[in-house]
Amino acid sequence: MKIVSQTDNELVLKEGSASGIAVGVVLVLVGVGLAFYRSTSGASAAGVSSASVMIWIALALGIAGIVAIFLSSSITVGINKTGGQLSYQKKRLIGGSSATYAIADVFRIETRKQWQMQNNPPNQNQSGPTQQPVLVAQSVIVFKNGQEVPLDHQKTSSTMAVGPAVLMSGQGAESAIANTVATFMGVPFQEIAPPNMGIGINIGGPGGIQIR
């Protein structure tokens, strides 16, 4: 998410672009290339174990590329304090949406961080893909009626490990811009950490920064 323009009364943000589709196409092409190489190289070029790994990698790259192409989207948010309105537009390859909201209906801005399992291609000592937890973050606009709209796409968050604990950075880009949006609209900002994180941080709004 980037701030495209900002004045005393207007703020425009944009998240995403056509680069997501380009990355998806590249991943698909690389996956197809690996699969083609494996089919033409023959057993003499690689053992059974390494051949299995290459197939898994090609399959993972192809699936990731297809998902990236169809799920790639851009979000444009315009906030006009003079008119008291927030315009929201989401574009994607298939479908899209646009809406206008009243700033007075916004309850707060949140940046949410949570653990998700990510599949990793197998190495030569493994017969199949493995999973590992990855911390992801996403900022959302929360309205007083309970409705929510995303400010950005879900992305990997920055973390720091100290001994057995994993600490969350409260001043990452995903939090800093969300806090700027909340301050501009005059609403609270909250950063929410998973229960097993070392630190949860609440920034902005009445009371300033709180560590809990």
Is the pLDDT higher at 84 or at 20? Answer: 84
Q: Are 202 and 209 in contact (CB under 8 A)?
A: yes
| Whether 76 and 66 share a structural domain | no
Q: Are residues 14 and 34 in the same domain?
A: no
Alpha-carbon distance 187 to 181, whole Å?
Answer: 9
pLDDT in tens, 32-45: 777 777 677 655 44
Q: What is the pLDDT of residue 96?
A: 76
Residues 206 and 141 in one domain: yes
Domain that holds residue 44: 21-70
On whether the pTM is more than 0.75, the answer is no
* 155 beta partners: 137
Residue ending a domain, among 38, 53, 70, is 70
* pLDDT tens, residue by residue, 146-168: 999 999 888 775 544 444 444 44
- Left, alpha or beta for 27 (phi > 0: left; psi -120 to 50: alpha)? alpha
CB within 8 Å of 64: residues ≥ 6 apart: 24, 27
